[in-house]
Chains A and B, each alone.
Chain A
């Protein structure tokens, strides 16, 4: 929610979900300046005879109001505007019957009100009326102007009356419809009110086309008393307004808020006039061909803006758009559906310049022959900000459109593609060449997807895509260097070789999806998606208590938005009866969760049985998935022990019982903000490998420097400073650094953590690459294998793929024989593990494993690989799990769709395992290592939690361990626990 209007729309939508009849009544009542019982009753009985009086009270006490008393209430201005718009779209038999009848009833009920208020209601109705034909539109404007003129005259005629009208203007001006605000009379009223009330009137941003010839007569003293100066600078295509100091030109004009200036010019023989509100920093476009540019102030002064002829400076738009200048991003674009006049078409767009976006529309989006040029649209930045844009060029179908933004976006980057696009001969490609006035779409076909060419320096460039340009398009030239090549809605290449000799062919360098990802590493991008937080509230229809809860929801919502989070309450799910799949999707799209516990909440059992387990499951699988509880309205007795009360009221899953709770009734806004900040602040922006590497870099530096507590700590610092970090990240455990003294100086948990981090960087960089796709959710593959048997290799690969992030929870299935367990056994075991962890029943756990789209990891250590049928069944039975098979030296190729990670070379596996053991042996100082740190082959086995298998038979089938998450601190903490346990044993 970025604007007040959008917040109002959201409030209306939420209110409508709870009280649809009251919302309908609100629409009919929205014409009134103030609502009272008489009017509400008349509207309800006449227009909604089937409803009862409850709708009146629901509206009276709703969150849509700005103020309320025993006599009546007033709608919030933005809410009223939105409701009026909705009322105006209600057509029956092609007529606005509801609007007209509501207006009649309103006028009837308020017949004895002051004329200013009656005029206000009538003007609102007139503005909302759909009139056809220029004559009818003109007549409507004339009537509005005539009504306002009566008030202007009343203001000017009498001093006392003038102040009365001014007070009305102060309130009414911001509520009047746009068509009324842009009249000359509205401007005069605003001027008169500002002067009479001491300038305490904010004028409308919407202004009349032309200023009145003279406006001073409306002022009490018949002349302006306050003046100001603003600077301006002329460009070929417009004017920039700036502070007067140092400006090449200045204009003195009456001090109003905002400042008004009328501009006019000639385009050929046609005179164009517009009034603008000006301020320093504002720019106004004037066509380059315009002549006779004139400015006129409210005081009647008229100035001619005369340009001195001079050589023009080459526009940046006309310079080469090469790699250095090209800034790109993928953004959402919202187009107006011409049939419904709403922003309903949503497509992906690509930045090709800071203020240009290319998008592609499908055939079905538009009526045939529709030309979009000039149409309004907007792009949506990841934070939710919308930037207005308009279509400057509309190409062929499938329609490629070029959008010019209202302002430049300086930090645009490229979104990695979801998959590789296979380029083949004959495919259509498109690109755009930005130019000063229009941006040309160039298209053609692929001649050869795998070509070679000699560039101007004579270097032979291989693997190029050879492109042909359509005959009817303009020629290529050097400006096209670096331009993106769009195929199937994706940027797949960049034009790198072309010339201006009239050739109709060029060559493009392919950009792999992963390269796009890596391209971003050095690109400044101070933006991020505002993470979504799913909030479970789940009320049932009740006797009005939702109104109170609505305030609580509003408070949470506001606080989260301030913290750059996007709250999504379950009651906001757009469907009337959301299915389980809707909840699954909503939680999946969230980066955290929360529970709003009130006396009303969680009374809908069916919802609670889905939402809470989903949140619990995600929190279990992804330990970095934060969940908190907001509590409100608890009786005093319960507030003494919130945790107990929560357990008593709502059947919380086991791992949600210890989450942080805040009692909203006692918490100040600041407390709430800090709570939200504390628990959700660590949610990182969307991940990429580079940011993860940076985090790991810091982690290593902190481990070395921060934990060097013993003698020689300075040495550790020195090691850190001597770029050992980079060495460690490039060669991992095999880095040529002084491991022995380094590990000896660290606390054991830090030392173990350091070894684990190093292990992640000890395998060839290509090995983990396919897993990286899975880690960023950018791959369809989710079953992998590698020619290793050590569980530590699997851990290292996972840590490397999820670099900088918490690896999702994994379940190990080792020494599995593929005749047993069956796929069903595996699923049963996974489900039982989940059931045990969450404290839920098996059936629910089974549902979660099969439906909740959390990336649970299964590690199988086995050889040979199971059959394809087994794997297919496994994939079907666990549709969201990521699986990694350690298959040892099994020589047979893996069956599809298993992705084989690049194999370790002969001896690499043994080297890895041996080195890991060596380093772990260095962790515990000899004096303390009375018990050998790693009695088994893997140092981790000593710290494995108790096997969750429940039956003896199951235990015999396979050995299982669960990793990650709940037990704090990962490897370091595990090592600490291990040491503590051993010391205890030693004492015994």
Chain B
């Protein structure tokens, strides 16, 4: 148990009040105040000079008053030094009131209303992505590339010119959402401040993709530690989706200063997750509320990270799509 602080002032007051003049009594006082260190060196510390080095070098003293920003706190009123004791008497002028008298303002004041219920929790916060960009942004982030487009006439002409047989019609590459998404949602303590954003984002994804195209799983720390379906308590090993499916992470990648360090996954764990996803032929996109300066470098290489912030636009995400396409192929 931590003991209450005993300050020099207490010691001074004690010595002063007890009129301590000899070293032995001073030692007794020190001992009673549990100032063991002073007590141990009482015989020497009682006879000493204040070191010239007590003048602290500029800029080193941590005293808050010298740090600049905080203005001086209101000082306690000085205690007066009383002089010349006098004889005096107390004479009752007014007796204590026996009947309570309600003040005049009481009738003119309305009582503070009683709350209808417990203090409500916020249900929504301003989203981290601009509203008018969210859909486009998600479309860009969740799309994968496949050769589903119209006939690639140029390639057909080339093939014919080379007298190659046309067994299948070559088609142009196009972004598509048809492969759906595996949505992995981090519910660890570190994501607490973004709980409303996560809920909002899941709703937005449901607006972009059909219900059956979304496979939502929830995890704490990293998916490798096990995932649960919505409303389920049972943790199951994470399995990568079919090849080519986008894996979309809503997480802080363990960057946040969460107090629960056991939930925080390290870089290695995330890198292993990225490698496993890549082996399964899936590309990973992570939506992270922390800025790029704080992204671990190893993770930036392992999978694609999108800054969950107002400054991120669909165009920015789209510009990084070719890299995803390459990694998918």
Are A390 and B78 touching (Cβ within 8 A)? yes
Residue in chain A with minimal CB distance to B35: A564
B60, B79, B308: the one within 8 Å of A283 (CB): B79
Contact B12 A691 (CB under 8 A): no
Residues of chain B lying within 8 A (CB to CB) of residue A818: none
Given contacts A37-B193, A149-B109, contact A236 B84 (CB under 8 A): yes
A235 x B82 contact (CB < 8 A): yes
- 8 Å CB interface, B1-16 against A: 2-3, 5, 7-9, 11-13, 15-16
Q: Say if the beta carbon of A730 comes within 8 Å of chain B.
A: no
Interface residues of B in 59-82 (CB under 8 A from A): 59-60, 62-82
| A153-B112 contact, Cβ under 8 Å, with A53-B308, A389-B78 | yes
Given A5-B73, A385-B7, A37 contacting B26 (CB threshold 8 A) = no
Across the interface, which residues of A come within 8 angstroms of B103, CB to CB? 212-214, 217
Residues of A within 8 A of B269 (CB): none
Closest partner residue, chain B, to A330 (CB atom): B50
Determine whether the beta carbon of B89 is less than 8 Å from that of A406.
no
Q: A residues within 8 A CB of B2?
A: 558, 562, 669
Whether B56 and A378, one on each chain, are in contact in the complex, defined by CB atoms closer than 8 angstroms, is no
Residue of A nearest to B292 (CB): A52
A154-211 contacts to B (CB < 8 Å): 154, 156-158, 161, 164-165, 178
Q: Is A436 close to B, CB under 8 A?
A: yes
Q: Which residue of B lies closest to A377 (CB)?
A: B75
Contacts of B73 in A (CB 8 A): 5, 85
With a cutoff of 8 Å between Cβ atoms, the chain A residues found around residue B81 in the complex are 237, 317, 355, 404, 408
- A164 lies within 8 A of B114 (CB): yes
Residues of B within 8 A of A562 (CB): 2-3, 5
A150 contact from B20, B35, B79, B110, Cβ within 8 A: B110
Q: Are B70 and A544 in contact (CB under 8 A)?
A: no
CB neighbours of B51 from chain A (8 A): 529, 686-687, 776-777
- The distance in angstroms between the C-alpha atoms of A53 and B195, with both chains bound, is 12
**Interface-side segment among B158-166, B202-210, B251-259, B274-282:** B251-259
A547 CA to B102 CA, complexed, in Å: 53
B120 at the interface (CB under 8 A from A): yes
Q: What is the minimal beta-carbon distance from A244 to any residue of chain B, in angstroms?
A: 13
**Per-residue 0/1 for A341-356: is the Cβ within 8 Å of any B Cβ (1 yes, 0 no)?**
1111010000000010
With contacts A36-B121, A300-B97 taken as known, whether A119 is within 8 angstroms of B112 at the C-beta atoms is yes
Which A residues are in CB contact (< 8 Å) with B293?
541
Our pick among A10, A284, A575 for the contact of B64 (Cβ within 8 Å) is: A10
Q: Which residue from A53, A61, A305, A524 sits with its C-beta under 8 Å from B128?
A: A53
Asked whether any CB of chain A lies closer than 8 Å to the CB of B32, the reply is no
Residue in contact with B97 in the complex, picked from A60, A214, A526, CB distance below 8 Å: A214
Q: Is B157 an interface residue (CB 8 A)?
A: no
**Given known contacts A9-B67, A45-B126, A343-B72, is B62 in contact with A572 (CB within 8 Å)?**
yes
Number of A-B residue pairs, CB cutoff 8 Å, is 429
A305 and B48 form a contact (CB under 8 A): no
Task: Kindly specify which of B37-45, B148-156, B225-233, B313-321 makes contact with the partner chain.
Answer: B37-45
Q: Give Cα A9 to B258, complex, Å.
A: 23
| B75, A543: Cβ atoms closer than 8 Å | no
**Are B309 and A334 interface neighbours, CB within 8 A?**
no
Which residues of chain B are near A406, meaning CB under 8 Å? Answer: 76-79
Q: Is the CB of A150 within 8 A of B70?
A: no
The contact string, 1 if C-beta is below 8 Å from chain B, for chain A 79-118, is 0001001100100000000000000000001001111110
Contact with A along B19-42 (1 / 0, CB 8 A): 011010010011000011110111
Q: With the chains together, A153 CA to B69 CA distance in Å?
A: 40
* Chain A residues within an 8 Å CB radius of B9: 381, 385, 387
**Chain A residue contacts of B124, Cβ below 8 A:** 38
Q: Is the CB of A52 within 8 A of B84?
A: no
Given contacts A222-B100, A415-B52, contact A523 B59 (CB under 8 A): no
Q: In the complex, A1 Cα to B259 Cα: how many Å?
A: 25
Asked if B83 contacts A316 (CB within 8 A), the reply is: yes
B289 and A582 within 8 A (CB): no
In this complex, what residue of B is CB-closest to A404?
A: B78
User: Which among B51, B109, B190, B296 has the greatest number of chain A C-beta atoms within 10 A?
Assistant: B51
Given A526-B30, A528-B38, also A407-B47 (CB < 8 A): no
Which of B271-323 touch A at CB < 8 Å? Answer: 289-291, 293-296, 307-310
Q: How far is the CA of A564 from the CA of B40 in the complex (A)?
A: 13
Q: Contact between A586 and B76 (Cβ–Cβ < 8 Å)?
A: no
Please report the total number of B residues contacting A with Cβ < 8 Å: 125
Q: Mark B235-262, 1 if CB is under 8 A from A, else 0.
A: 0000000000000000010111111010
How long is the Cα–Cα vector from A238 to B78 in the complex, in angstroms? 13
For the complex, is B326 an interface residue (Cβ under 8 Å from A)? no
Q: Considering the complex, which residues of chain A in the window 552-602 have a beta carbon less than 8 Å from any beta carbon of chain B?
A: 558, 561-564, 566, 568, 572-575, 582, 585-586, 588-589
| Chain A count of residues within 8 A CB distance of the other chain | 186
B167 at interface (Cβ–Cβ under 8 A)? no
* Min CB–CB distance A546 → chain B (angstroms): 7
Q: Which of A45, A217, A234 contacts B310 (CB 8 A)?
A: A45
Known contacts A45-B126, A376-B75, A544-B256: does B82 contact A283 (CB below 8 Å)?
Answer: yes
Q: How long is the Cα–Cα vector from A248 to B85 in the complex, in angstroms?
A: 11
Which one of A1, A49, A70, A384 lies within 8 Å of B192 (CB-CB)? A70
CB neighbours of A572 from chain B (8 A): 62
Beta-carbon contact of B255 and A418 below 8 Å: no
Q: Which residue of B lies closest to A633 (CB)?
A: B261
Establish whether residues A13 and B100, one from each chain, have CB atoms under 8 Å apart when the complex forms: no
CB-nearest residue of chain A relative to B20?
Answer: A524
Q: How far is the CB of A791 from chain B (nearest CB, A)?
A: 30
Determine if A233 is an interface residue (Cβ-Cβ < 8 Å).
Answer: yes
**Contact indicator A238/B82 (Cβ below 8 Å):** yes
Instruction: Check A153 against B56 for contact (C-beta < 8 Å).
Output: no
Q: Which residue on chain A has the smallest CB distance to residue B3?
A: A562
Distance of B61 from chain A, by nearest CB (Å): 9
Q: Which residue of A has the minimal Cβ distance to B46? A: A524
Q: A415, B49: Cβ atoms under 8 Å?
A: yes
Q: Mark the stretch among A514-522, A641-649, A744-752, A931-939 that contacts chain B.
A: A514-522
- Given the known interface contacts A316-B83, A415-B54, A573-B60, the answer about A41 and B125 at a Cβ–Cβ threshold of 8 Å is yes
Chain A residues near B110 (CB, 8 Å)? 150, 153
Chain B CB within 8 A of A658 CB: no
Given contacts A57-B256, A61-B259, A223-B100, contact A114 B87 (CB under 8 A): no
Segment with Cβ contacts to B, from A495-503, A677-685, A837-845? A677-685
- A54, B256: Cα distance in complex, Å: 8
B132 at the interface (CB under 8 A from A): no
Smallest CB separation, B82 vs chain A (Å): 4
With the chains together, A341 CA to B267 CA distance in Å? 49
Within 8 A of A (CB), among B82-120: 82-98, 100-103, 105-106, 109-115, 119-120
Q: A216-B100, A306-B89 are in contact. Are A691 and B44 (CB under 8 A)?
A: yes
- Please give, as numbers and ranges, the residues of chain A lying within 8 Å of B30 by CB-CB distance: 526
A38 touches B49 (CB 8 A): no
Chain B residues with CB below 8 A from A306, complex form: 88-91
Whether a CB of chain B sits under 8 angstroms from the CB of A2 is yes
Q: Please tell me if the beta carbons of B85 and A342 are within 8 angstroms of each other in the complex.
A: no
Task: Other than A72-B121, A237-B83, A776-B51, give 7 A-B pairs with Cβ distance below 8 A.
Answer: A216-B97, A283-B79, A302-B93, A525-B48, A527-B12, A562-B5, A690-B48
Closest 10 CB pairs of A and B: A686-B51, A285-B80, A547-B257, A38-B122, A234-B88, A688-B49, A114-B115, A302-B94, A406-B78, A217-B100
B interface residues, Cβ below 8 angstroms from A: 2-3, 5, 7-9, 11-13, 15-16, 20-21, 23, 26, 29-30, 35-38, 40-54, 56-57, 59-60, 62-98, 100-103, 105-106, 109-115, 119-122, 124-126, 128, 189-190, 192-197, 252, 254-259, 261, 289-291, 293-296, 307-310
19 residue pairs of the A-B complex, CB under 8 angstroms, read: A6-B63, A13-B69, A53-B309, A60-B193, A114-B115, A146-B109, A216-B97, A302-B93, A306-B88, A310-B87, A342-B65, A376-B75, A405-B78, A408-B16, A410-B12, A520-B48, A548-B261, A585-B59, A776-B51
